[in-house]
């Protein structure tokens, strides 16, 4: 239960990093070397949106499991 919450927080952390453009190499590895910055920015924005959704979903599921366990 706690691990699901921690994973959700990590997803949100990486989504913020991708949104700021600091970790764009993690999205596609080394395939963005000869691509324009607009294309890299678009890919990182899509991935960050997916990570935000997945992170919030994991946090919701984790909190739901914790609440249902105690009540």
**pLDDT 10s digits, 18-70:** 888 777 767 666 555 666 767 777 888 888 999 999 999 999 999 999 999 98
Residue position matching structure tokens 């909190």:
63
Pick the closest to residue 27 from 6, 41, 7 (CA basis). Answer: 41
**pLDDT 10s digits, 1-22:** 889 999 999 999 989 988 887 7
Q: What is the CA radius of gyration of the chain?
A: 15
Cβ neighbours of residue 35 closer than 8 Å, sequence gap 6 or more: none
């Amino acid at each position: 239960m706690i691990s699901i919450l921690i994973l959700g927080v990590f997803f949100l952390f990486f989504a913020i990093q991708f949104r700021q453009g600091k970790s764009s190499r993690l999205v596609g590895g080394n395939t963005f070397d000869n691509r324009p910055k607009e294309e890299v920015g678009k890919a990182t924005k899509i991935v960050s949106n997916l990570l935000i959704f997945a992170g919030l979903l994991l946090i919701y599921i984790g909190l739901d499991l914790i609440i249902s366990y105690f009540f």
